[in-house]
Amino acid sequence: MTPPSPAPDPQHRIPDRHAHTVFECSSCGERFVGVPRCPDCNLFMHALGTGGVCIHCDEPLLVSELLDDAGATLLD
């Protein structure tokens, strides 16, 4: 008999990509972080990329928008 496999270590778990993905609804244009279905339109949204919620305005923001030359700087 083979011994049972060890339980996976919770610290070495693969992160959930949906939790850090910005989605945009093609119908109403609203953006959400980590929510793949629009709560207003009940439609699946398009994944725009990796991002999060802005600490200043509480709006979903892509990492690429932060790093864009025309966008805000990290020092503001």
pLDDT digits (tens, 9 = 90+) for 20-59: 899 999 999 999 999 999 999 999 999 999 999 988 899 9
Read off the tokens for 66.
């932060």
Read off the tokens for 30.
């609203």
- pLDDT value for 66: 83
**pLDDT of 73 strictly over 60:** no
- For residues 4-31, one letter each, b for 16 or more C-beta atoms within 10 angstroms of the residue's C-beta and e for the rest, the string is eeeeeeeeeeeeeeeeebbbbbeeeeeb
- pLDDT value for 1: 64
pLDDT digits (tens, 9 = 90+) for 50-64: 999 988 899 999 999
Residue 23 makes CB contacts below 8 A (sequence gap 6+) with: 31, 32, 33, 34, 35, 36, 45, 46, 47, 48
**pLDDT of 9 strictly over 90:** no
